[in-house]
């Protein structure tokens, strides 16, 4: 006699996005799960001030311009999810170190039951020390799906 296994449905999914190909795949995976489970989808991007030099950080216009660009990208992701049929989509713009910010700030605030992130990191010292995805997977209090 064959046993049938059924995975529990996720009610609240959080996906981390940026401009990497892996993050875009993570977004598609999260949308697919949100559709299958009829769940709420949160899309997060973490604005990293490390990408800016000291003069750019001190110039409010430069930081505001970068923030507006990231907010626009988040709105585009949100619209894509809604167009795909996800019923409820929220966006989150956080600031700091991505892995740590997602684990310490975003997850406690959003309270997801699944976090979906892309695996790759291609810039900075992080590519030598480990990815943000590995940080999230190691320290997240909820299930994490790493997509590549």
List per-residue pLDDT tens for the chain, 148 residues long.
678 888 889 999 999 998 889 999 999 999 999 999 999 999 999 988 665 555 555 566 777 888 899 999 999 999 999 999 999 999 999 999 999 999 999 999 999 999 999 987 555 444 434 578 999 999 999 999 999 8
- Measured CA to CA, the distance from residue 118 to residue 104 in angstroms comes to 18
Please give the model's pTM, rounded to 2 decimal places.
0.86
- Measured CA to CA, the distance from residue 87 to residue 35 in angstroms comes to 8
């Amino acid at each position: 006699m064959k046993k049938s296994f059924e995975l529990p449905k996720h009610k609240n999914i959080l996906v981390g996005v940026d401009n990497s190909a892996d993050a875009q795949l993570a977004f598609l995976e999260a949308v697919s799960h949100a559709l299958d489970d009829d769940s709420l989808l949160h899309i997060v991007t973490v604005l990293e001030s490390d990408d800016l030099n000291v003069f750019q950080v001190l110039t409010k216009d430069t930081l505001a311009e970068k923030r507006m660009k990231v907010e626009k990208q988040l709105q585009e992701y949100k619209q894509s999810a809604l167009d795909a049929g996800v019923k409820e989509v929220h966006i989150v713009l956080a600031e700091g170190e991505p892995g740590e910010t997602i684990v310490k700030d975003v997850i406690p605030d959003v309270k997801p039951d699944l976090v979906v992130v892309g695996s790759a990191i291609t810039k900075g010292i992080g590519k030598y020390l480990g990815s943000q995805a590995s940080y999230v997977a190691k320290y997240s209090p909820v299930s994490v799906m790493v997509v590549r």
